[in-house]
Structure 1
Amino acid sequence: MMKIKVYNQEGKIVKEIELPKEIFELKINPNFLHQVIVCQMSNRRQGTAHTKTRAEVSGGGRKPWPQKGLGRARHGSIRSPIWKGGGVAHGPRKEKNYKKKIPKKMRRKALLMALSSKAKDKELILLDNLEIKEGKTKEMAQILEKLKIKGKSILLALPSLDKKIILASRNIPKLSTIQAKDLNALDVLNSKYLLMPLSSIEVIKKTFLK
């Protein structure tokens, strides 16, 4: 079993624990992870990019000049894609759906691989407890500074919804919060460090090891 140090909010080591191998010691398959993450990124696309075709741009119903006799190139509309202010050829259309279905087992396996990767690369930081008294940004900033990860990209996984922690975290650049039950491979691997209290591991067990 993999051992990891547990810190308090002062940044001091309080104990060492063994991580559950069914969560943090999976064999990592990069191709599998890539497949799931690409799907998750696609599912977050809004698909709102939209361009008008020559038929949708207003104007251009009349031929700009006669076909013959002027010595100019022939044109049928000033809204042709080759004209400035004309329609767009082959541009994005908002009706496109980027959603991709990912089986639940694949999502879970990818998450556990991502967690295993963080543990293996020493990018998992565990706290014995996380408590914010006033919901002030300063409180969270001090904790990150004592853990020597301030200014880094961090995902904070909470065991449950804690308004004070979320308030204290939301103005800190590169720090994102998520409930442990909502963890996913994309968010875990998008951050340099995964920070969580010990109680979050129990939530992960109950949610993803059914």
Structure 2
Amino acid sequence: MVDCIIKNWQGEETGQATLELKVAKEENAAHIVHRALVRQRTNGRQGTASSKTRSEVRGGGRKPWRQKGTGRARAGSNRSPLWRGGGVIFGPKPRDFNIKMNRKERRLALRTAFQSRSEDLVIVENFAAQFTKPKTKELVLALSRWGVEQGKTIILILPDIPDNVYLSARNVPCLKLLRADSLNIYDLLVAEKIIATPEALSKIQEVYSD
């Protein structure tokens, strides 16, 4: 269980929130988080790299010269991998890089990663009402009031993403918006600061509790 300080729009402390998630045992935590991270990064690969073998390269149907009597090495096609313009030996072909991982293990890794970042977690009161229209400058000023330095990699976790908040945040460098029910382990580990609302925190504990 971790206690987090709640800040308001002005950056003043207004209360405390509790983060309580079922996490992996200390001796297994690094291993399971690493597996989940490798799975996410690997599953993101398209696997569409492809090269042509000698049978797929256009041309090469005619024997370049007769078998004997020329003094040159015998050749059956000018699309041999030994020739310029020929096929590729053991080149890449489309493949599936996906790694499987049980749903419970993925959830456990995500909870473990999230709770391990508790020192970099900033809880702020719901501020959607502050944005009656898109205003990037207001959001940047709010981030500084919440103690987040400019240039830091930040993820902002909300239960839902209002249009005005999205439009205000999309031009802020190094800031990424995430829904509380759509977290991923890579963003949690890469972010230098994590900002969430109490509602988002409750949703995280509800969605990822099992």
Deviation at 1:13, TM superposition (A): 3.3
Amino acid aligned to 2:135 = K
Comparing 29-38 and 54-63, the one that deviates more? 54-63
Distance in structure 2 (CA, Å) of the matches to 1:140 and 1:65: 73
Q: Does 1:80 align with 2:77?
A: no
Aligned partner of 2:42 in structure 1 is 42
Distance in structure 2 (CA, Å) of the matches to 1:25 and 1:33: 9
Aligned partner of 1:53 in structure 2 is 53
Distance in structure 2 (CA, Å) of the matches to 1:63 and 1:191: 60
Q: Does 1:156 align with 2:156?
A: yes
Overall identity of the aligned pairs, in %: 36
Distance in structure 2 (CA, Å) of the matches to 1:198 and 1:2: 14
Distance in structure 1 (CA, Å) of the matches to 2:199 and 2:104: 24
Query: C-alpha offsets along residues 168-194 of structure 1, whole Å, 9 cap, x if unaligned?
Result: 222223221111011122221132222
Compared CA separation, residues 24 and 110, structure 1 to 2 (3 A)? closer
> In structure 1, the residue corresponding to 2:21 is in which secondary structure?
helix
> In structure 2, the residue corresponding to 1:4 is in which secondary structure?
strand
Compared CA separation, residues 70 and 139, structure 1 to 2 (3 A)? farther
Unaligned stretches of 5+ residues in structure 2: none
> In structure 2, the residue corresponding to 1:5 is in which secondary structure?
strand
Aligned partner of 2:112 in structure 1 is 113
Aligned partner of 2:201 in structure 1 is 201
Deviation at 1:71, TM superposition (A): 4.0
Distance in structure 1 (CA, Å) of the matches to 2:15 and 2:78: 73
Please give the TM-score of this superposition, normalised by the length of structure 2. Answer: 0.84
Amino acid aligned to 1:135 = P
Q: Is the 8 A contact 2:64 2:76 kept in 1?
A: yes
Distance in structure 2 (CA, Å) of the matches to 1:5 and 1:118: 14
Unaligned stretches of 5+ residues in structure 1: none
Aligned partner of 1:135 in structure 2 is 134
Amino acid aligned to 2:115 = S
Aligned partner of 1:93 in structure 2 is 93
Deviation at 1:43, TM superposition (A): 2.1
Compared CA separation, residues 148 and 192, structure 1 to 2 (3 A)? closer
Compared CA separation, residues 108 and 77, structure 1 to 2 (3 A)? same
Query: C-alpha offsets along residues 115-163 of structure 1, whole Å, 9 cap, x if unaligned?
Result: 11111xx221211223233123333323233333322211211111322
Compared CA separation, residues 25 and 36, structure 1 to 2 (3 A)? closer
Comparing 85-94 and 23-32, the one that deviates more? 23-32
> In structure 2, the residue corresponding to 1:19 is in which secondary structure?
strand
Deviation at 1:24, TM superposition (A): 7.7
Compared CA separation, residues 92 and 3, structure 1 to 2 (3 A)? same
Compared CA separation, residues 113 and 69, structure 1 to 2 (3 A)? same
Deviation at 1:199, TM superposition (A): 1.1
Deviation at 1:23, TM superposition (A): 5.6
Query: C-alpha offsets along residues 27-82 of structure 1, whole Å, 9 cap, x if unaligned?
Result: 47111111122112222222222222221111122233344444444433232223
Distance in structure 2 (CA, Å) of the matches to 1:60 and 1:93: 22
> In structure 2, the residue corresponding to 1:181 is in which secondary structure?
coil
